[in-house]
Amino acid sequence: MVAIWLTVALVAVLGVVSVHNAFSYPAAGGYDAAEHISYAHTLVEHWRIPKRGQGDYYTPPGYYLLAGGAIKLGEALRLSSPEHLGQLLNGLLAVGTALLLIGIVRVLFPGRPWLRVLALGAFVMIPVALKTDAMFHPQPLEMFLATLAVVLVTRLIRDGRYPWWNALALGLTVGVAQLVRSAGLWVFAAVFLALAVTVVARPGVRRPAGKALAIVTVLGVLLPLPWYIYLGTTYENPVLGRRGAPPPAQRAPATRGAVSPELASLVVPLALAQSLSYYTSGGLPESFTHPYRGALPPRFLPVLYTETWGDYLGSWSWGAVGMPRPQMSPSVNRRLALQSLVGAVPTFLALAGCLSLLALGLIRARERAELLAVALMPAVALAAVFYYASHYPSPDGDTMKGMFLLPAIPCVAIGFGFAVDGIRARAPRLGFALIGLLLLCGVVSLAYGIA
C-alpha cells in the first residue's frame, strides 16, 4: 500500500514540476531552441520542411507538427509566449512516459512494488529528463514513443501469443518514432533485436513471434521510408541528413601552430575523435570539480555524464547571455560539482542493473526473453551516441550530450530499480542504508531539475 501511495506521489511530483518548468523555463533557452521553434512555425504556417541553413532541416517533422499546433493554440489563447504550450506538451509526455514505465515494471516484475517505486523515483529525479522535458525539443516525444514501444514488445514477448494487432501497434509505434528523431532508428533496432532473439531462443513460439517480427519490420521500414528518401535525395545522408566528419587522412593537420586558434579549436577535436582516450577518459578530477564547458575538456564519457546529471554546456542552470540564468561563477560551479557527486552512486547502480538485465535476458533468453527490450535499449542507445559522437564530432561536445540517451532513460531507471531492489532483497540493512543515501541524492537532483 505504501508503495502504491509513493508511486502516485512521484507521478504527482513529476506532473507539478513538469507544468511549472514548462512555464518557468524560457522557450528560447533550450538546446537549439530557436531552430526548433522556427521549424514548428515554418511547418504549421507554410506547411513545408525547412531547407538547409534554416535550422534542423534534417529532423523529421513529427514533433514539430504537434508543437506547432500547440503554438497555434497558445496564440489563440493570447499567451504572451505561446511556445510554452510546446514545452507543456513535453511535460505531459514526461508524465505519460512515467506511467508507461510503471506499466513496464508491472509486466516484468509484477510482485515487486519497491522496484517500481525505485525505478520511477530515478526517472522523476534524473536531471537530463527534467531539463529536456522543460525545453521546446522533440526528444521527450521520442522518449515517450520509445517507452511505448518497450511496453508493447515486452507484453508481446511475455504473453507469448503475438496477436497481429499488437504487432501492428508496435510496428506503427517504431515507425512513427522514426518520424520524430533519428533516434527512432535505434529504438527500432532494439525492438527488432529483442524480437529476433526471442524467435531464436523460443522454438515453441517461433512461428507467431516470427510473424510479429515480420509485421514490425515491414511497418518500421515502410512508415519512415518517404522521409529517408526525401533526406537521401535532397541531402547527403538519408538518416542524419548531412555528411559525417571526413576520414582522418582528409582532415587538416592538428598542429596548433599551423592554424589560427579559431580553426585549431575546430580541428583538434576532430583529430581527438579518433583517439581511444577520447572515449575512455573519465575526465578526472574535473568531471567532479569543474564539470562545465571550458574547464572540463570535451571527452565522450565526461560530457555524457556531466550533461546527464548537471549542465556541461550551459543550457539549464548557467550560461547563455541574455537568458535569465547566471553566468558561470564559483557558486554555480559548486552546484554543478554537487550534481556530479550525487550522480555517481545512482549511475554506478544503474549501469550494474542494466548490465545484469542484459546478461539475464541473453543468457536465459528462453525463460526471460521479455527482459530483452528493456535491457537492449540502453546498450543500443549508448552505441548510437558513440556512433554519432565519433562520426559527427563537435568542438564543444554538443554531439555527445546526455540528452541523446533520453529515449533509453526510462529503461536505465528500471535497471537502477532492479539493482537497488536486488541489493535490498539480499542484504536488507545495506539496502535500506543505500536507499536513504539515494533518497538524499534524488532530492538534491530534483531540486536542481526545477527551473
Partner 1 sequence: MTEASEQLREWPFLRAALVAVAALLLVELVGTAVDRHLNPTPSALARTVKCLRNEKGLPVETGALDPIGKTADGGVARTRIETNGITIVISSNTSKAKKLAGYYETVNGGPTDAIGLWGHDVFVWERSPSPTQKQTMYDCHY
* Site of interaction with partner 1 (CB under 8 A): 109-112, 256, 260-262, 264-265, 280-282, 284, 290, 293-295, 319, 321, 327-330, 333, 348, 351-353, 355-356, 359-360, 363, 418-419, 421-423, 425-426
Q: List for the chain the helix, strand, coil content (%; round to 5).
A: 75, 0, 25
Task: Quote the least distance from Cβ 109 to partner 1, whole Å.
Answer: 7
CA-CA-CA-CA dihedral for 170, 173, 177, 180, to nearest 10: 170
DSSP designation for 405:
G
Which one, 4 or 359, has the nearer CB to partner 1? 359
Task: Quote the least distance from Cβ 122 to partner 1, whole Å.
Answer: 16
Task: Quote the least distance from Cβ 367 to partner 1, whole Å.
Answer: 9
Task: Quote the least distance from Cβ 112 to partner 1, whole Å.
Answer: 6
Task: Quote the least distance from Cβ 63 to partner 1, whole Å.
Answer: 31
Which one, 3 or 352, has the nearer CB to partner 1? 352
Which one, 74 or 319, has the nearer CB to partner 1? 319
Measure the CA–CA gap between 311 and 25, rounded to whole angstroms: 14
Phi, psi of 14 (to 5 degrees): -60, -40
Which one, 68 or 269, has the nearer CB to partner 1? 269
Measure the CA–CA gap between 298 and 161, rounded to whole angstroms: 48
Measure the CA–CA gap between 162 and 153, rounded to whole angstroms: 9
Q: Which residue do the cell numbers 538546446 mark? A: 31
Which one, 54 or 327, has the nearer CB to partner 1? 327
CA atoms within 13 A on the CB side of 423: 18
Task: Quote the least distance from Cβ 344 to partner 1, whole Å.
Answer: 9
CA atoms within 13 A on the CB side of 392: 14
Task: Quote the least distance from Cβ 393 to partner 1, whole Å.
Answer: 16
CB atoms inside a 10 Å sphere around CB 322: 8
3-state secondary structure of 293: strand
Which one, 111 or 204, has the nearer CB to partner 1? 111
Residue 59, all three cell numbers: 529532423
Residue 434, all three cell numbers: 543505500
Task: Quote the least distance from Cβ 39 to partner 1, whole Å.
Answer: 28
Maximum distance among all Cα pairs of the chain, rounded to whole angstroms: 68
Which one, 187 or 420, has the nearer CB to partner 1? 420
Residue 302 near residue 287 (C-beta atoms within 8 A): yes
Which one, 133 or 421, has the nearer CB to partner 1? 421
Task: Quote the least distance from Cβ 113 to partner 1, whole Å.
Answer: 10
Task: Quote the least distance from Cβ 432 to partner 1, whole Å.
Answer: 16
- 293 beta partners: 296
Which one, 65 or 434, has the nearer CB to partner 1? 434
Residue 350, all three cell numbers: 544503474
Residue type for position 85: L
Burial of residue 167 (number of CB atoms within 10 Å: 0-12, 13-18, 19+): buried
CA pseudo-torsion sign 175, 176, 178, 179? positive
Residue 394 near residue 84 (C-beta atoms within 8 A): no
Measure the CA–CA gap between 410 and 122, rounded to whole angstroms: 9
Q: Which is nearest to 206 in space by CA: 195, 215, 193, 217?
A: 195
Task: Quote the least distance from Cβ 434 to partner 1, whole Å.
Answer: 12
Which one, 113 or 241, has the nearer CB to partner 1? 113
Which one, 54 or 260, has the nearer CB to partner 1? 260
